[in-house]
Amino acid sequence: MSLLRTLFFYLVFFPATIFFSVVAIVGRNQTSSHWCERNWGRLVVWLCASKDSVDLSALDEKQTYVFMVNHQSFYDIPLLFKHLAPWQFKFVAKKSLFDFPVFGHAMTAGNHISIDRENRRQGMRDIQNAIDVANRGNSPLIFPEGTRNPAPQEDGLMPFKTGGMVLALKCQKPIAPVVMYGINKVCAKHSLWMNPFQEIKIKALPPIDISEYSVRDRNKLKEQLEEVMGKAYAELKNA
């Protein structure tokens, strides 16, 4: 049954991804992009038939946040598009992802935030773009580990990157930590092979008020986030 479901997933996934990407590119406005992202996420999650346990009760749907989310696999993306649909959020991602044919162009059309890690001057402009995105009421979404975790079952969360803290502090919005568990069982790092019917846990933690922080406090913020998100991850794992 799982093999048949996986084959069905791929038969639908690729044409659906192209369809929603093209609609977002042609529409080139936030309404069409959000519609495409939300419905693509719902479709992919339905195709994969994961059993999602989601608790976002700590968050206010009317508030703009900087989301901080642990990162395990490609499947994080449709899950977040589906379950964080009440918020207009924008992924903060490395520049190379925006060069992908069709999907990368759809990310550009949706005003997701490209970060150039190789060019410091462009990187500063990218941070300013993230600030502008937040000021327009869109919530930047950062993966503070910086990349997908290859062994979340054994190692828990990876150390967070300081750059994500700097961006979050400059946006001057409350930080909303979101912890996800079990996604690697659906799709591991460096793999697009989807394993359906897996149990997923997603939990939003109480937002962090950063009004008393400055950029000089980035290491303090990093340590605080690592502690609260690491503890919550261990609780989800052992629940």
Specify the pLDDT at position 29: 83
Residues 6+ apart with CB under 8 A from 96: none
Specify the pLDDT at position 154: 66
Partner residues linked to 93 by β-bridges: 114
Q: What CATH number does residue 154 fall under?
A: 3.40.1130.10
Specify the pLDDT at position 239: 81
Specify the pLDDT at position 6: 81
From 34, 18, 25, 17, select the one nearest 106 (Cα to Cα). Answer: 25
pLDDT above 90: percentage of residues in the chain: 61
Work out the angle at residue 181's Cα, subtended by the Cα atoms of residues 192 and 236, and round it to the nearest 5 degrees. 165
pLDDT digit string, tens, across residues 110-164: 989 988 877 777 878 888 888 898 999 999 999 999 888 877 666 689 999 998 9
The segments of the chain whose pLDDT lies below 70 read 1, 152-155
pLDDT digit string, tens, across residues 67-79: 999 998 889 999 9
CB burial of residue 113 (10 Å; 0-12, 13-18, 19+)? buried
> Could you give the number of structural domains in the chain?
1
pLDDT above 70: percentage of residues in the chain: 97
Domain of residue 87 covers: 2-238
Specify the pLDDT at position 207: 97
Given CA atoms 26, 31, 32, 33 in this order, what sign does their dihedral have? positive
Distance CA(45)–CA(56), nearest Å, equals: 18
pTM value is 0.92
